A and B are shown apart, each in its own frame.
Chain A
Amino acid sequence: MDPLTAAAAAGLQSRMDSLDLLANNLANTSTSGYKSDREFYNTYLSADALNNPDPAVGDSPVVERHWTDFAQGSLTSTGNPTDLALSGRGFFAVNGPNGTLYTRNGSFQVSPQGALVTTEGYAVRMSDGTTLTLDPSAQLAVAADGTVSQNGAALGQLQLADFADPSLLEKAFGTNFQSPDPQKVAPQSATNVQVAQGKLESSNASPTESAARMVMLLRHFEMLQKAVKIGAEMNRQAMEEVAKVGS
């Protein structure tokens, strides 16, 4: 492929990846605690081009990685006492099947054993690493600092984890995040967060903004497609008219 077509094709491919991310965001506008993903474009340089002082030819844009937008979602009142929402920086910690998972989705339930669990059945961790044992008949009260109490007696404090750089977390199934390396990306105690009881954090994927970005993506795609066509047309003319041998 000639450089023009190669660059335009890479551009087309990356816009398709962007639409994949956008489609996932829009599909999850009703998922509590969902954080939207954005793309991070970069130019791909071949090894030859890296050492070339003038790498203008041969660099093509690629979606190299995504970044997760950890912006606060709006809090919706549900009236369910086991629904908890976080306002500020931090995550609930839950016992996943392969280690601790972190989530902002506080749609919890009480398990038959009395533990506070997520919709997947993962138990919510307390600050001392244990899980709760609740009394089914007593009212559940959760204070802003995560202290859980029943009948006026404090049962413990929910573990509220924060990370120096949350962008290093990986997304796992079901609005959960996991640390790629528990040693390097270790949770700290969150200080700048409040727990709201009877509320859920809505997804921070906004349909309006996504619609605008979709229009932009489509127009980019159209322009790149035109560029490929122009490149093909130039090739055709080069072959049919310039390189005409004899008359």
Chain B
Amino acid sequence: MIRALNSAASGMTAQQLNVDTIANNLANANTAGFKMRRAQFEDLIYQSMVQPGAAAGQQTTVPSGLQLGLGTRAASNEIIFSQGAFTQTGNPLDVAIQGKGFLQIQQPSGTIAYTRSGSLQLDRNGNIVDVNGNTLVPQITIPATAQNITIAQDGTVSYTLAGQTAAQKAGQIQLANFQNPGGLNSIGNNDFLPTDASGDPQVANPGGAEGLGTLAQGYTEQSNVDVVGAFVDLIQSQRAYEANSRVVKAADEMYQQVNQLTQ
């Protein structure tokens, strides 16, 4: 009986986590470069009440045992790295990554974080920075007198100076990729840090044979949250929560009746 109560409670906890994940996805439906997460569940260990092969009578044995499950638990909520749609912004420093790569951002602590959000800007020294003011790696500086900034598909950043026709090359944006992007650690601000599960970053130029993807200037990548799908998940999760709460009620009712037996 306590098993049924605990199983139902584990089911309710799991659905709460599911709703938490969906809520965060929906809250970030308009965050550029956001990648949705999906909660994954698995069943818990099984309590063996009757061992298979146990004696069922003098001549017979039980062909298969009785295993009672003890509920569910959240196994992971992995990040889904599907490509988001592109929005045209007209800002020459906005870049969207068409492919699997990540931009590299130098954190204030010195570590390098990885992001899909390509809303880039210039700081007062002319360095290309992200919306939090952290510089892009490798560092690219544009002089204040630059007229037009062009970012090519292969990441080459060039500009022209007033009165000149030849473009000056400022640098090349590089992308990083991971063996298992789903194992990256989200640290907020659209940034990820590598972990043992993700593997080490492999840095290469955009558009190369490494398959890291190309850059599209003047676009940002929208979040890959499927709002309709998220609502369907939300309804399912709510119904599952309700069903589990009914089990709590049923177990409670059975308990009550057992207690009334002695009256």
Contact = CB atoms under 8 A, between A and B. Distances in A.
Given A23-B3, A207-B240, A137 B210 contact: yes
Interface string A18-33: 0111111111111110
B4 A19 contact: yes
B260 to A, nearest CB: 7
B45 A173 contact: yes
Nearest to B14: A30
B50 interface: yes
A23 B199 contact: no
B4 A111 contact: no
B72 A30 contact: yes
Contacts of B5: 23
A104 to B, nearest CB: 12
A24 B211 contact: no
Nearest to A39: B66
Interface string B226-254: 00000000001101100110110011011
Contacts of B163: none
A31 B197 CA distance: 23
Nearest to A217: B250
Contacts of A109: 78, 180, 182-183
Contacts of B251: 19, 23
A27 B42 contact: no
B80 interface: yes
A211 B10 CA distance: 18
A222 B257 contact: yes
Contacts of B63: 65, 168
B243 A112 contact: no
Nearest to A171: B46
Given A15-B254, A27-B72, A207-B239, A119 B40 contact: yes
Looking at B7, B14, B46, which has the most chain A CB atoms within 10 Å of its CB? B7
Interface size range on B against A? 35 or more
Contacts, number: 207
B105 interface: no
A40 B117 CA distance: 55
B180 A67 contact: no
Contacts of B247: 19, 22-23, 26, 214
A52 interface: no
Looking at B38, B183, B198, which has the most chain A CB atoms within 10 Å of its CB? B38
B254 A120 contact: no
Given A19-B247, A21-B69, A37-B67, A26 B44 contact: no
A16 B257 CA distance: 12
Interface in B194-215: 196-200, 202, 210-212
B96 to A, nearest CB: 18
A138 interface: yes
A172 to B, nearest CB: 8
A137 B18 contact: no
A131 interface: no
A24 B64 contact: no
Which 9 A-B pairs give the minimum distances between C-beta atoms?
Answer: A27-B11, A24-B69, A112-B199, A137-B211, A23-B7, A23-B4, A174-B42, A207-B243, A31-B41
